[in-house]
């Protein structure tokens, strides 16, 4: 009597489809080529220039961090970016809340204004603010006509002009993500807080602001990162006292022809920006996990 040997057949392992994989690589090739040509190679060029010009070594970085003038430019950059971010949050939060609770036609109108400001040329917007803020401009004339001031205010070539111009440009980048966060908040939450005895101010600070904090933090970090590398608006509306790092890099390249020091400054700015962007991605991932989005 022969013994029957029973074998359990395992499901066949699907062989990798090389054709599909090669097709995916071909589809990604243009994007990878674009990334290499327009990002990786320029960054490597900056790195090489910063350590090879005028002589090999790290003297450019030593000069950058050892000079009080350059350190002051670094301080100006972070200070202006912080001020612009704070003012943008103060103005952007009520704007986003208005968009979330306003009637539909008002929301569409405000959104249209925001989008129109984003689509307008950056240089044109900055020159418009130069005209508006100058001592003989409409703003000073209106304030003097109303009797608020008796002599024109200096609103350009200082921190005030830079803050106004950059806040106007950065505002849509905060309002858009914050508006989405506020729209996702259940209105019954605020009603429940009112039923439990909370005043409007308490409901705002203890309920609305904590629920909107992911959108506030995400938008504020985006504004701060973008403000660090801005050049046109600070150069036209600011002054030498508040020179920012991007303006310094342009001056080193165009006027002083110091490519090594400019490369070192640009690389430091890039590393700071990428670090903050990594923080933003990590924060966004945690926020999504906390809300149950996978």
Q: Is the torsion defined by CA of 120, 124, 127, 132 positive or negative?
A: negative
**pLDDT tens, 231-265?**
888 888 887 777 888 888 888 888 888 888 888 88
| In the predicted structure, residue 280 carries a pLDDT above the cut 80 | no
Which pLDDT score, from 0 to 100, does residue 271 have? 86
Tell me phi and psi for residue 149, to 5 degrees. -130, 160
> Domain 67-290 sits in which CATH superfamily?
MetI-like (1.10.3720.10)
Q: Beta-carbon neighbour count of residue 44 at 10 Å?
A: 11
For residue 245, give Cα distances in angstroms to 69, 82, 86, 189, 210: 11, 14, 20, 44, 34
The number of helix segments (H) and strand segments (E) in the chain equals 14, 0
Percent of the chain with pLDDT over 90: 6
Domain ranges of the chain: 19-52, 67-290
With CA atoms as reference, report the closest residue to 88 among 165, 170, 162: 170
DSSP percent split of the chain into helix, strand, coil, nearest 5: 80, 0, 20
**pLDDT tens, 140-152?**
888 888 888 888 8
Which pLDDT score, from 0 to 100, does residue 5 have? 47
Is residue 294 very low, low, confident or very high in pLDDT (cuts 50, 70, 90)? very low
Is residue 289 very low, low, confident or very high in pLDDT (cuts 50, 70, 90)? low
More confident position, 288 or 106: 106
| In the predicted structure, residue 230 carries a pLDDT above the cut 80 | yes
**pLDDT tens, 37-69?**
888 888 888 788 888 877 788 888 888 888 888
Q: What is the model's pTM? A: 0.79
Extended strands (E) in the chain: none
- With 0-12 / 13-18 / 19 or more C-beta atoms within 10 angstroms meaning exposed / middle / buried, residue 91 is middle
Is residue 221 very low, low, confident or very high in pLDDT (cuts 50, 70, 90)? confident
Distance CA 177, CA 143 (A): 34
CA 265 to chain CA mean position, Å: 19
List Cβ neighbours of 106 (8 Å cut-off, separation of 6 or more): 98
Q: Beta-carbon neighbour count of residue 210 at 10 Å?
A: 10
Which pLDDT score, from 0 to 100, does residue 87 have? 94
Which pLDDT score, from 0 to 100, does residue 151 have? 85
**pLDDT tens, 90-126?**
999 988 888 888 788 887 888 888 888 878 888 888 8
């Amino acid at each position: 009597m022969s013994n029957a040997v029973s074998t359990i057949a395992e499901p066949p392992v699907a062989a990798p489809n090389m054709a599909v994989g090669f097709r995916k690589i071909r589809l990604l090739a243009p994007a990878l080529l674009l990334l290499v040509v327009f990002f990786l190679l320029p960054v490597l060029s900056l790195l090489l220039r910063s350590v090879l010009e005028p002589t090999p070594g790290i003297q450019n970085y030593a000069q950058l961090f050892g000079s009080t003038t350059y350190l002051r430019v670094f301080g100006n950059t972070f200070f202006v970016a912080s001020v612009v971010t704070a003012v943008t949050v103060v103005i952007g939060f009520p704007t986003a809340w208005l968009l979330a609770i306003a009637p539909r036609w008002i929301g569409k109108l405000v959104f249209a204004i925001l989008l129109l400001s984003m689509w307008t040329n950056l240089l044109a917007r900055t020159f418009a603010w130069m005209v508006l803020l100058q001592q003989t401009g409409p703003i000073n004339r209106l304030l003097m006509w109303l009797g608020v001031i008796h002599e024109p205010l200096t609103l350009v070539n200082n921190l005030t002009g830079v803050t106004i111009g950059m806040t106007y440009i950065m505002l849509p980048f905060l309002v858009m993500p914050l508006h989405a966060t506020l729209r996702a908040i259940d209105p019954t939450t605020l009603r429940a807080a009112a039923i439990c005895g909370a005043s409007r101010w308490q409901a705002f600070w203890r309920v609305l602001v904590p629920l909107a904090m992911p959108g506030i933090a995400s938008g504020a970090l985006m504004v701060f990162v973008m403000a660090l590398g801005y050049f046109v608006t600070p150069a036209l509306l600011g002054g030498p006292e508040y020179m920012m790092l991007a303006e310094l890099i342009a001056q080193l390249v165009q006027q002083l022809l110091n490519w090594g020091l400019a490369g070192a400054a640009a690389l430091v700015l890039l590393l700071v920006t990428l670090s903050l962007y990594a923080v933003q991605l990590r924060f966004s991932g945690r926020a999504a996990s906390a809300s149950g989005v996978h």
